[in-house]
């Protein structure tokens, strides 16, 4: 059965504390930190973007992969912050891992779930026998307008998965999606920062879709939360994933391993995929992982994974990289994010 052959995540090493941003705008730091359950978020270096983060994640995935880049038949990069409006990120990634030219590639966009849409696309091609291996990436360097609520969580990071039929270490038992036309969050072409429907982003968007996909998948497989050792959800903050996990019947022991947003913020298309990377780094052969992404607009892709032999040889140590970080202040942060425009 097809699934994940190898994987890798990348989170830039700079961090800014929620407290530092709140103080800059004269907001109540405790209330902000408590409300979001995010203490710090990742910040990209000045020369990092969605393409560089995707490449670093992909290269990590290939460090432990049983195959090399030229085995790829497809490369999909899902993001809402592709560096170009027209010109694919996927070709940059493909060239950087030596996968070009006999392959297909495309950039995908579906807010924060574009990366898992790529996993489904690659899985379909592998299962149909059209390609041997596909690479699916979710990565973002997300932006929140200065002072906007999003600024407290909008972070940078990404994860890459090599999908195939041979050498699988996390079998995809099944996947189901739940999608509707819901305008909870958007950014028009040419606009610098996204707009959001404030409270509208919760119940009718994040919760409805994540629960919809999750319940449909468990119903189809005949599973219940008790059948899983781990559960990973999209994490726009530290609060939503905990609430959705609990409402579905998962407990802390199942979701804590893949819950990264309290330390790194919301990495958008990278968020649930990075949670999956952290979970695969700890899961043992025979474990089952429940996983659901969410993207505004809106939709959720749920997956059920079964961990196989060989997982030990694929570990990446993602969480260890979180120990070597550098905290920056708001002035350095503004420079890193290019908020001070230079002309």
Partner 1 sequence: MTAPRFWRKINQRYRLVGTECRTCDTAFFPPRDLCPECRRESDIAEKAFSGEGEVVTKTVVHDAISDYDAETPYTLAVVELDEGARITAQVVEGDGEVDVGDRVEACFRRVRDEGEEGIVQYGTKFERV
Structure tokens at 53: 């983060």
Tell me whether residue 87 or residue 130 sits nearer to partner 1 (CB atom): 87
Q: Give the list of residues 6+ apart from residue 204 with CB closer than 8 angstroms, or none.
A: 182, 184
Stretch that binds partner 1, among 92-100, 203-211, 236-244, 266-274 (CB under 8 A): 92-100
Told to judge if 80 belongs to the known catalytic residues of this protein, a careful annotator would answer yes
Tell me whether residue 26 or residue 342 sits nearer to partner 1 (CB atom): 342
E strands, the chain, in order:
3-10, 14-17, 40-43, 72-78, 104-108, 133-141, 156-164, 170-182, 185-186, 195-196, 230-233, 288-292, 297-307, 326-327
Tell me whether residue 48 or residue 107 sits nearer to partner 1 (CB atom): 48
Query: Counting contacts by CB under 8 A, is residue 92 touching partner 1?
Result: yes
Structure tokens at 205: 């968007």
Given 33, 80, 82, 151, which residue is catalytic?
Answer: 80
Stretch that binds partner 1, among 32-40, 44-52, 131-139, 189-197 (CB under 8 A): 44-52
Stretch that binds partner 1, among 95-103, 117-125, 168-176, 264-272 (CB under 8 A): 95-103
Given 82, 196, 234, 336, which residue is catalytic?
Answer: 234
Tell me whether residue 85 or residue 128 sits nearer to partner 1 (CB atom): 85
Residue in 277, 272, 307, 301 with CA at minimum distance from that of residue 289:
307
Pairing of the two strands 3-10 and 156-164: antiparallel
- d(CA 17, CA 327) in angstroms, rounded, equals 7
Query: Counting contacts by CB under 8 A, is residue 46 touching partner 1?
Result: yes
Query: Counting contacts by CB under 8 A, is residue 47 touching partner 1?
Result: yes
Structure tokens at 92: 């940059």
Closest CB 137 distance from partner 1, rounded Å:
13
Query: Counting contacts by CB under 8 A, is residue 49 touching partner 1?
Result: yes
Stretch that binds partner 1, among 91-99, 109-117, 118-126, 281-289 (CB under 8 A): 91-99
Q: Are 61 and 7 a contacting pair, CB within 8 Å?
A: yes
CB crowding 224-234: b at 16 or more within 10 Å, else e: ebeebbbbbbb
By CB under 8 A, the count of residues binding partner 1 is: 18
- Residues with active-site annotation: 80, 112, 234
């Amino acid at each position: 059965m097809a699934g994940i052959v190898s994987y890798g995540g990348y989170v830039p090493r700079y961090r800014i504390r929620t407290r530092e941003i709140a103080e800059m705008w004269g907001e109540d730091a405790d209330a902000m930190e408590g409300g979001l359950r995010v203490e710090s978020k990742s910040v990209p270096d000045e020369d990092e973007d969605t393409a560089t983060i995707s490449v670093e994640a992909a290269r990590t995935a290939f460090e432990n992969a049983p195959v090399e880049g030229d085995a790829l038949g497809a490369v999909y990069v899902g993001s809402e912050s592709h560096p170009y409006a027209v010109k694919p990120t996927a070709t940059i990634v493909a060239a950087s891992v030596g996968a070009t030219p006999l392959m297909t590639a495309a950039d995908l966009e579906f807010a924060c779930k574009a990366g898992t849409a790529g996993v489904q696309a690659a899985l379909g091609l592998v299962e149909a026998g059209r390609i041997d291996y596909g690479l699916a990436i979710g990565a973002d360097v997300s932006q929140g307008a200065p002072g906007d609520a999003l600024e407290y969580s909008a972070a940078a990071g990404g994860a890459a998965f090599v999908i195939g039929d041979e050498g699988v270490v996390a079998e995809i038992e099944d996947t189901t999606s739940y999608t509707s036309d819901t305008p909870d969050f958007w950014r028009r072409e040419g606009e610098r920062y996204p707009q959001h429907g404030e409270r509208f982003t919760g119940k009718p968007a994040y919760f409805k879709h994540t629960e919809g996909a999750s319940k449909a998948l468990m119903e189809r497989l005949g599973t219940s939360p008790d059948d899983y050792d781990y559960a990973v959800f999209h994490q726009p903050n530290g609060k939503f994933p905990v609430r959705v996990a609990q409402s579905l019947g998962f407990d802390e022991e199942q979701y804590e391993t893949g819950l990264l947003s309290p330390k790194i913020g919301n990495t958008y298309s990278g968020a649930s995929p990075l949670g999956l990377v952290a979970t695969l780094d700890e899961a043992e052969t025979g474990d089952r992982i429940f996983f659901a992404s969410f993207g505004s607009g809106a939709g959720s892709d749920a997956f059920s994974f079964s961990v196989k032999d060989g997982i030990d040889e694929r570990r990446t140590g993602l969480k260890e990289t979180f120990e070597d970080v550098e905290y920056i202040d708001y002035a350095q942060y503004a420079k890193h994010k290019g908020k001070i425009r230079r002309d």
